[in-house]
Amino acid sequence: MNEYSLKYGCNPNQKPARIFMAGGGDLPVEILNGRPGYINFLDALNAWQLVKEIKEATGEVAATSFKHVSPTSAAIGKPLSERLKKACFVDDIAGLDDSPIACAYARARGTDRMSSFGDFIALSDECDETTAKIISREVSDGIIAPSYSKKALEILSAKRKGNYNIIKIDRSYKPENTERKQVFGITFEQGRNEFKIDENLLTNIVSKNKDLPIEKKKDMIIALITLKYTQSNSVCFAGCGQAIGVGAGQQSRIHCTRLAANKSDLWNLRQSDRVLDLKFAADIGRPDKNNIIDLYLSDADYPDLLSNWRKYFAVRPEPFTREQKDEYLKTVSGITLASDAFFPFADNIERAAKSGVKYVVEPGGSVRDDLVIEAADRYGMVMAFTGMRLFHH
């Protein structure tokens, strides 16, 4: 197949729409089910590159959850603790421990469930039955993977009344070195970003603290590859083999950092006893549970939530005060922070420190690098400079 027609482009008025190989030849993708749209394919192809590169860099299976051409999270297939399973809403999934790819997606989806609502999924390896079972009960637009087990394809094909978008991609496909796109009738051309992200990129440690464990290097790699496919400006927080807070598409880097840090804080608070012990009313569905948790953790909204607790909870929860949340977050440490371009001011480091960041990786090159390094040293952080910007537009 060398062309697929699409329902419309980014918006319903943008017709006709299609994907095709400009130089001729067959597309590297096959639609197995559904009718993916223009934005679906933008998500799918960016997401596939991300998980493919994480797999190549770490040697471990990877998954990502994409929304509007940026990842909400990305993760490798590390096993989940019982606590983490509950936080990710997968504590009832049988066989999870035996499926690394299911663990990867459970982590990626569970990190920022608000942003992942209606996601497009990419898997570095075959989608198995366990992964399909997780996906089957989530609100999702589609998936791209190199292959699907027979049972997984059966489960996914039944989703959304048989209209769930399932794309198979040729794992061996390699695009041309030059890429083009049009804006306002004008063609842009550039070399593809083939910059390789691996451990060799992390040797220039500019902080006084030089202790960078292998697992933290892996977190840095995951965060940097995530940023490579995130709309810029962007900042990513990572921990335990997954991106836990992505701040994408902000004009100011400190706003990226604040956004990513707030998401990281929420992810860590969701693993607290206060949240894991919530007793929901019997008729509360999964998306609503997630929204209720978000309100419970919101300083502005949770008092009203508690005043109407019988609508949401079987047992009235205790308030989770700002002071209690701050105390809990003080126990969080060892988080990694990555940036797609240099930090122009030390305020990014100051904000990151409040969210438990101890490892930082960024390109360097600011006229204020000395002040940024000084701030990192003040908090005992390990800071590595890569020398390479990772803008993505």
Active site residues: 67-68, 233, 393
Bridge partners, 384 (sequence order): 205, 361
- Give the neighbor-by-neighbor strand order of the sheet with 382-385: 29-33, 165-169, 140-145, 119-123, 62-67, 70-76, 242-248, 234-239, 335-339, 357-362, 382-385
For the record, the structure tokens of 378 come out as 């003040």
DSSP 8-class letter at 35: -
Bridge partners, 6 (sequence order): 17
Q: What are phi and psi of 256, to 5 degrees?
A: -60, -45
Query: Residue 146 in contact with residue 125, Cβ under 8 Å?
Result: yes
For the record, the structure tokens of 85 come out as 């399973």
- Burial string for 255-282 (b: 16+ CB within 10 Å, else e) reads ebbbbbbebbbbbbbbbbebbeebebee
Which residue is associated with the tokens 């606590």? 83
